[in-house]
């Protein structure tokens, strides 16, 4: 290799430019026929690639195995380099080398998920194409134990991909069964199921039933626990045992469903919904019918706040949080940033989103659970299964405030309900509380959940208002610690709060043009 090869291999941009300025041969090749441009493509650095091309590097050069620039980019897995060569120079993404392998085959071998999704998006590559050994991308993923890639291929090409036989006479499942490690063992279940599926043209859709079950499970199980508890003389004891079992079950769940598709787990959204709507049903079905004659104002407040709470909850779940569908605009307000600006060094490579294929600047962020880029992302709320960002952040804060208000209202209503049951003999002593625990398990459990939840609600509201007053977002504080040694003046805090709630802040409600 030449010194230029070594410098590019190390990624030293300044020294590379110095060598080029002093006459280094930009098209010299090593023993494998690899040029400096091939090395730069393997590194995936668009700035290096652009500089070498400007100094006369041959973009059509092949190594001794027939690999072109895209094959070398595939080895490194850089989506940014793929996008730069394809969008700027219209370089084909599906060229084959002497072994009939395309960049997709190489990406599958290395298991780079981001590059894989780029190449398989909107028909950029032929996912059914076989190499000289008859191996399709599915064969390679199966042999390498790339479970996520196999699943993605299944959802794009259907079950017929599992029945293609390579030149050695193997289907993808055979290659999995030949291996004896944990990655391949985890694939056997779903690959066997879809291989033996009768309809070869069917396309897997993912764990739809599991998703809906996780969403409904907290509400359904809690209702079953209360229904069973009412059949016993000591309702509270039975309900307590059931609630402990339910909490243990919920604690065992993660952010994603335990399935190869890795869908976001809605069980946290279901848990919040269970608490919210069980509280409303308990309030309007049990408590208010008993006290509304003596507490008219309390009843009217509940009737007014409940629709607001339900509407806010529904809107937060369904509203677009501020999804970015195109790259950010340049300072002139007309042109959009592109990979050309990254290759020119105008913006950092980190501003490019590999999944959404847009340039995001400022406070925009890609959410891995929602799989979208959002403007001014504050955080991803597991209890709403939605990002909190530009268009819904203000509503989120108001919703938390409404939840706290309704919880206070419910706690007071429960007090009035218990007082009405025990008439003039009621007092908060141990015998009375024990009696309530034994005979009113549903009201008592919802009451207790609201007391615990109000602590969470008040702290969350305080935290959010504190951030807004300082002009920060949650993820900025969690990742960069902006609140350390920071105490803006009272006037500045009030200005941030009023700007936020009246739609004049940087992330108050109206989506900026991006």
What band does 479 get if pLDDT is binned at 50, 70 and 90?
Answer: confident
**Predicted local distance difference test score (pLDDT) of residue 1:** 82
The two beta strands, 358-359 and 365-367, are unpaired
**Predicted local distance difference test score (pLDDT) of residue 514:** 31
Examine the pLDDT at 76 and tell me if it is beyond 90. Answer: yes
Lowest mean pLDDT among 336-340, 387-391, 433-437, 466-470: 433-437
Examine the pLDDT at 343 and tell me if it is beyond 60. Answer: yes
The two beta strands, 379-381 and 386-388, are antiparallel
**Predicted local distance difference test score (pLDDT) of residue 213:** 96
Scored b (16 or more CB within 10 A) or e, 53-87 reads bebebeeebbbeeebbbbbbbbbbbbbbbbbbbbe
Express each pLDDT in 187-219 by its tens digit.
Answer: 999 999 999 987 888 999 899 999 999 999 999
- How far apart (Å, rounded) are the C-alpha atoms in residues 241 and 228? 11
Q: Where are the beta strands (DSSP E) in 425-490?
A: none
Lowest mean pLDDT among 61-75, 118-132, 201-215, 494-508: 494-508
**Predicted local distance difference test score (pLDDT) of residue 437:** 86
What band does 510 get if pLDDT is binned at 50, 70 and 90?
Answer: very low
Examine the pLDDT at 385 and tell me if it is beyond 50. Answer: yes
Examine the pLDDT at 427 and tell me if it is beyond 90. Answer: no
Express each pLDDT in 393-406 by its tens digit.
Answer: 999 999 999 999 99
Examine the pLDDT at 512 and tell me if it is beyond 50. Answer: no
**Predicted local distance difference test score (pLDDT) of residue 425:** 59
Provide the β-strand partners of residue 264.
256
Please compute the mean of the pLDDT values over residues 94-121 and round it to a whole number: 95
What band does 166 get if pLDDT is binned at 50, 70 and 90?
Answer: very high
**Predicted local distance difference test score (pLDDT) of residue 511:** 36
Q: Count H helices, E strands: the chain?
A: 23, 6
- Highest mean pLDDT of the ranges 299-313, 412-426, 469-483: 299-313
Residue 21's CB is within 10 A of a number of other CB atoms, namely 9
**Predicted local distance difference test score (pLDDT) of residue 504:** 65
Mean pLDDT, the chain, rounded, equals: 91
Express each pLDDT in 232-260 by its tens digit.
Answer: 989 989 999 999 999 999 999 999 999 99
Asked whether the beta carbons of 40 and 52 are under 8 A apart, the reply is yes
The distance in angstroms from the start CA to the end CA of the chain is 45
Examine the pLDDT at 459 and tell me if it is beyond 90. Answer: yes
What band does 5 get if pLDDT is binned at 50, 70 and 90?
Answer: very high
- Concatenated DSSP letters of 477-490: HHHH-TTTT----H
Helix (H) or strand (E) holding 235: helix 235-251
Q: Quick one: CA torsion of 458, 459, 460, 464, rounded to 10 degrees?
A: 100
Examine the pLDDT at 484 and tell me if it is beyond 70. Answer: no
**Predicted local distance difference test score (pLDDT) of residue 434:** 83
Which pTM does this prediction carry?
A: 0.88
* All structural domains of the chain: 3-195 (1.25.40.20), 210-321+389-501 (no CATH)
**Predicted local distance difference test score (pLDDT) of residue 429:** 72
Helix (H) or strand (E) holding 460: helix 441-470
Examine the pLDDT at 423 and tell me if it is beyond 90. Answer: no
**Predicted local distance difference test score (pLDDT) of residue 61:** 94
Examine the pLDDT at 424 and tell me if it is beyond 70. Answer: no
What band does 392 get if pLDDT is binned at 50, 70 and 90?
Answer: very high
Examine the pLDDT at 152 and tell me if it is beyond 60. Answer: yes
Which tokens go with 166? 């390579």
Examine the pLDDT at 509 and tell me if it is beyond 60. Answer: no
């Amino acid at each position: 290799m030449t010194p230029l090869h070594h410098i590019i291999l190390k990624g030293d941009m300044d020294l590379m430019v110095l060598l080029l300025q002093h006459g280094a041969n930009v098209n010299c090749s090593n023993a494998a026929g690899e040029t400096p441009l091939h090395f730069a493509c393997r590194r995936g650095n668009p700035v290096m690639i652009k500089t070498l091309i400007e100094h006369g590097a041959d973009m059509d050069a092949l190594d001794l195995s027939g690999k072109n620039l895209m094959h070398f980019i595939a080895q490194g897995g850089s989506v940014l380099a793929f996008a730069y060569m394809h969008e700027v120079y219209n370089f084909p993404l599906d060229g084959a080398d002497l072994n009939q392998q395309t960049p997709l085959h190489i990406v599958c071998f290395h298991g780079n998920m981001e590059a894989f999704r780029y190449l398989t998006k909107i028909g950029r590559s032929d996912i059914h194409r076989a190499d000289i050994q008859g191996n399709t991308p599915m064969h390679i993923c199966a042999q390498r134990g790339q479970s996520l890639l196999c699943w993605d291929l299944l959802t794009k090409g259907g079950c017929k991909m599992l029945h293609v036989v390579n030149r050695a006479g193997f289907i993808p499942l055979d290659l999995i069964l030949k291996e004896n490690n944990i990655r391949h063992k985890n694939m056997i279940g779903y690959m066997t199921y879809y291989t033996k599926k009768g309809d070869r043209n069917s396309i897997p859709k993912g764990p739809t039933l599991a998703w809906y079950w996780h969403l409904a499970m907290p509400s359904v199980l809690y209702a079953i626990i209360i229904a069973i508890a009412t059949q016993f003389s000591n309702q509270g004891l039975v309900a307590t045992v059931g609630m402990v079992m339910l909490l243990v079950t919920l604690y065992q769940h993660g952010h994603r469903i335990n399935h190869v598709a890795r869908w976001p787990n809605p069980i946290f959204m279901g848990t919040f919904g269970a608490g919210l709507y069980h509280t409303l049903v308990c309030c309007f079905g049990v408590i208010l019918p008993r006290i509304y004659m003596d507490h008219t104002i309390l009843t009217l407040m509940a009737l007014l706040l409940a629709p607001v709470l339900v509407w806010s909850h529904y809107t937060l779940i369904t509203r677009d949080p501020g999804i970015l569908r195109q790259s950010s605009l340049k300072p002139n307000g007309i042109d959009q940033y592109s990979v050309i600006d990254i290759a020119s060094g105008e913006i950092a490579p980190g501003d490019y989103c590999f999944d959404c294929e847009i340039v995001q600047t400022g406070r925009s962020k890609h959410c891995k659970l929602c799989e979208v880029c959002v403007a001014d992302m504050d955080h991803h709320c597991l209890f709403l299964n939605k990002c909190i960002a530009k268009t819904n952040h203000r509503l989120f804060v108001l919703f938390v405030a409404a939840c706290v208000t309704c919880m206070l209202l419910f706690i007071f209503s429960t007090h009035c309900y218990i007082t009405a049951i025990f008439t003039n003999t009621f007092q908060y002593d141990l015998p009375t509380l024990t009696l309530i625990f034994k005979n009113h398990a549903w009201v008592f459990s919802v009451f207790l959940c609201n007391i615990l939840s109000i602590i969470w609600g008040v702290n969350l509201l305080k935290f959010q208002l504190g951030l807004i007053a300082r002009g920060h977002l949650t993820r900025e504080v969690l990742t960069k610690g902006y609140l350390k040694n920071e105490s803006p003046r009272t006037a500045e805090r009030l200005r941030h709060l009023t700007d936020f709630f009246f739609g004049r802040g940087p992330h108050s409600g109206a989506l900026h043009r991006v």
